[in-house]
Amino acid sequence: MYVSKQKHMHNEHTDEHFQFRIDNGEYIEPRDYMPEAYRKNLIRQISQHAHSEVIGMQPEGNWITRAPSLRSKQILLAKIQDEGGHGLYLYSAAETLGVSRTEMIEQLHAGKAKYSNIFNYPSLNWADIGAIGWLVDGAAIVNQVSLQRTSYGPYSRAMVRICKEESFHQRQGYEIMATMMKGTKDQQAMAQDAMNRWWWPALMMFGPHDTDSPHSKDAMKWKIKRETNDELRQKFIDKTIPQAELIGLTVPDKDLKWNEAAKKYDHGEINWEEFYSVIKGDGPCNKQRLSHHIKYHEDGVWVREAAEAHKLKTNLSVV
């Protein structure tokens, strides 16, 4: 053992030494040696994650002005601001890998970078805000708790901060659903309808089955991912079903049943055709989400110019 460690210590700029560090449970930092494919895979995943946080502000932003009370409006505003902050941590983490935020935004606008499938569905009424917080943030937490131990230091540290805020988000949504389920028949029907529409897309957030996930093999080897798509999806299902039952919601899956031997829920088939069509750009709201982002990015040119001018002025006055 000692001999092999010595050997690796002399060859720090090799893929072999890199893998040795990963297997040893070390974190990789921006200036450390890393294989080009590791860097590329991380830029892809972190930038898509950042875009998801920011695009994810839109379906909820739609309901700020129509929140049913001052309290619920304040909470929703705080939650949406958090999502913006999460996007910033993540863009900054990706920048440490040598890509600029401008480039990442250009890739998003050109349709070359993805963002989560889930944000291409419409938020039709207040119950949807409950379903987004409970199911979408609930799924995001399961994934992100696991990513706190991802092998890239800046990504891992961003995840630790983000997870602290996500658990408040999940409770915000669950509280809305629980309140509606204690309400009138119409309110209960609205909550159930939102559950029916968001359940399956939330399961798709974990990505394709492991057997159909092209990036998983390397991502697991490099510990970018600590658990696979299917493992995380199963965790989310097992944790969420008792929560639905507690407030009287029915999970819209006729094949769902408890598997006593495996101590987990077996679930029905996910509609992968829908998933691939949504991530290719043909979901109900893809065009709306992107054009909204492009419009406000262009409207914000003057802010970025003013910040640059201020920086220049400050630098000059220092000289």
Q: Which stretches of the chain bind ligand FAQ, using CB under 6 A? A: 44-45, 48-49, 52-53, 56, 83, 114, 116-117, 132, 136-137, 140, 143, 204-208, 213-216, 219, 229, 279
Supply the minimum distance, in Å, between the C-beta of residue 228 and ligand FAQ: 9
145 vs 279 by CB, closer to ligand FAQ:
279
Supply the minimum distance, in Å, between the C-beta of residue 248 and ligand FAQ: 24
Q: Helix or strand or coil: residue 111?
A: coil
Amino acid identity for residue 141 in this structure? I
Q: Are 115 and 107 in contact (CB under 8 A)?
A: no
In angstroms, the CA 257 to CA 255 distance is: 6
When CB distances to ligand FAQ are compared, the closest residue is 56
Supply the minimum distance, in Å, between the C-beta of residue 152 and ligand FAQ: 12
In angstroms, the CA 40 to CA 256 distance is: 38
48 vs 234 by CB, closer to ligand FAQ:
48
The C-alpha angle with vertex 68 and arms to 246 and 189, in degrees rounded to 5, equals 40
* Beta partners for residue 299, in sequence order: none
Query: Which backbone phi and psi does 152 adopt, to 5 degrees?
Result: -90, 115
117 vs 240 by CB, closer to ligand FAQ:
117
Q: Are 82 and 53 in contact (CB under 8 A)?
A: no
Amino acid identity for residue 317 in this structure? S
Q: Are 251 and 195 in contact (CB under 8 A)?
A: yes
112 vs 185 by CB, closer to ligand FAQ:
112
DSSP 265: E
18 vs 275 by CB, closer to ligand FAQ:
275
248 vs 281 by CB, closer to ligand FAQ:
281
